[in-house]
Amino acid sequence: MTGAHEDDAVSLPTWFARQAPDVSRETTDSADSDEGFAPGDDSPVGRELWETEQLRRRLEDSEFPRPPRTRVITVSNQKGGVGKTTTSVNLAAALASRGANVLVIDADPQGNASTALGVEHRSGTPSIYEVLLEETPLARVVQQCPDIPTLWCVPATIDLAGADIELVSMVRREFRLHDAVNELLAGPGKDLDYVIVDCPPSLGLLTLNSMVVAGEVLIPIQCEYYALEGLTQLMKTVEMVKKHLNPAIHVSTIVLTMFDARTNLAREVAAEVRGHFPDQTLEQTVPRSVRVSEAPSFGQTVMTYDPTSSGAVAYLAIAREIAARGATGTAVAETGGQQ
Ligand SMILES: Nc1ncnc2c1ncn2[C@@H]1O[C@H](COP(=O)(O)OP(=O)(O)OP(=O)(O)O)[C@@H](O)[C@H]1O
Ligand SMILES: [Mg+2]
């Protein structure tokens, strides 16, 4: 363990109890007030700023219900650069900023989620590699994120680059993460509300491990040409995992990322995705935003880097939708996998 847990590998529950604000497990939609704020001008930018501010105020007053059980969500799409990492870290930070206990597992050798969450992940740092290959308990490699006390990260280092191949010859090769997460949730991580796994852009053993442990799959889709390319293969993989390895898994959520409402293409892609997946696709989309792409270079999520920006407010709204769905049971997940 590092950071706050340096000297005590089983102190997570105590830490959580001390840090987590008392958040109601009930859903309430509070009315919003737009007093004292009006659009500065009628330009599209002025309008957008005004709408972002309205949404931010609504979210400020609304509650984020905590799930009855830990939800394990894997963020997956073998297509590269669609917003998997950005969605993983900002969703996690948004949920944690509203009091949930959230663990992000970086399962990508690129280590981008570890960078964005500001945790140490130089080669040799205890990481997900040791968990998968050497059966080191997750609690020993978890780091607390510097900006949000209820947000935690299992880092990935470049050591993970060979893991897809190294895992091939190991026993229970598809269940390594499942076993580690269940051990954590049965002990020091029992108060975790969410475990979010950031997958690499492939359908190899790292992604498979993350699907075997998950109750839910969240698929980010970038609203651009070729957006749906590869989605059939991803769905087939989820079905295969469901049939043979983890009956609990299902695609619960689709997030439309880098959405630019001014382009016909983005609107068409969004309409097509909603047509195919009406129940899974979230109402809220993520706008293309410079602040979102800048944040990782400061070792931060956009939630702390610029909490009033359109990207941060969008991810907060996404977190609210996901939390509300879990609370009403439409997408409640249990930890997946079968022994
Ligand atoms: N809403 C957004 N606005 C602007 N830039 C964004 C947004 N979302 C993601 N990006 C940028 O797009 C790039 C790809 O995003 P990200 O790394 O999250 O994708 P990924 O699917 O995790 O990629 P990989 O497949 O390599 O793991 C990054 O440079 C990121 O900063
Ligand atoms: Mg990524």
pLDDT at site 328: 52
Ligand 1 and 207: CB distance under 6 A: no
* Contact yes or no for 332/71 (Cβ under 8 A): yes
CA distance 111 to 157: 6
Q: Which residues contact 236 (CB under 8 A, 6 or more apart)?
A: none
Please tell me what DSSP assigns to residue 257: E
Give the number of the atom of ligand 1 that is nearest the alpha carbon of residue 108. 27
- 190 CA distance to ligand 1 centroid (A)? 31
Does residue 273 sit within a domain? yes
Nearest listed ligand to the Cα of residue 81: 1
Does residue 268 sit within a domain? yes
Tell me the pairing of strands 216-222 and 102-106.
Answer: unpaired
Residue 8: give its domain's CATH number. Answer: 3.40.50.300
pLDDT top residue among 242 and 35: 242
* Contact yes or no for 54/46 (Cβ under 8 A): no
Residue 4 pLDDT greater than 50, yes or no: no
Read off the tokens for 76. 């997956």
- Helix (H), strand (E) counts: the chain: 13, 7
pLDDT top residue among 28 and 240: 240
* Contact yes or no for 92/300 (Cβ under 8 A): no
CA distance 8 to 304: 28
- 333 CA distance to ligand 2 centroid (A)? 23
* Contact yes or no for 315/196 (Cβ under 8 A): no
* Mean residue pLDDT across the chain: 87
Does residue 174 sit within a domain? yes
CA distance 271 to 23: 35
Ligand 1 and 80: CB distance under 6 A: yes
- From its phi and psi, is residue 233 left (phi > 0), alpha (psi between -120 and 50) or beta? alpha
Q: Whose CA is nearest to atom 2 of ligand 1?
A: 288
Does residue 266 sit within a domain? yes
Side-chain-facing half-sphere of 104: CA atoms under 13 Å = 38
Ligand 1 pocket: which of 82, 85, 197 to mutate (most atoms <8 Å of CB)?
85
Nearest listed ligand to the Cα of residue 220: 1
Residue 221 pLDDT greater than 80, yes or no: yes
Q: Which residues contact 297 (CB under 8 A, 6 or more apart)?
A: none
Phi, psi of 281, deg, nearest 5: -75, 125
Neighbours of ion ligand 2 (CB under 5 A): 84-85, 112
Report CA dihedral (33, 62, 88, 233) to the nearest 10 degrees: -90
Q: Whose CA is nearest to atom 10 of ligand 1?
A: 293
Ligand 1 and 257: CB distance under 6 A: yes
Largest CA distance in the chain: 64
Q: Structure pTM?
A: 0.87
Residue 337 pLDDT greater than 90, yes or no: no
pLDDT tens digits for 250-270?
999 999 999 998 899 999 999
Give the number of the atom of ligand 1 that is nearest the alpha carbon of residue 314. 1
- Domain tally for the chain? 1
Q: What is the CA radius of gyration of the chain?
A: 19
- From its phi and psi, is residue 123 left (phi > 0), alpha (psi between -120 and 50) or beta? beta
pLDDT at site 228: 86
Nearest C-alpha neighbor of 335 from the set 236, 242, 212: 212
pLDDT tens digits for 171-210?
999 999 999 999 999 999 999 999 999 999 999 999 999 9
Tell me the pairing of strands 216-222 and 250-257.
Answer: parallel
Domain with 185 in it: 3-17+68-328
Residue 285 pLDDT greater than 60, yes or no: yes
Distance of CA 209 to the CA centre of its chain: 16
Does residue 105 sit within a domain? yes
Does residue 45 sit within a domain? no
Does residue 219 sit within a domain? yes
Handedness of CA 61, 18, 121, 110 (dihedral sign): negative
CA distance 91 to 194: 10
Range 51-72 average pLDDT: 92
**Following DSSP, what letter does each residue of 145-188 receive, concatenated?**
-SS-TTEEEE---GGGGGHHHHGGGSTTTTTHHHHHHHHHHHTT
Q: How many residues does the chain have?
A: 339
Does residue 22 sit within a domain? no
- Tally Cβ neighbours within 10 Å of residue 130: 18
- 142 CA distance to ligand 2 centroid (A)? 19
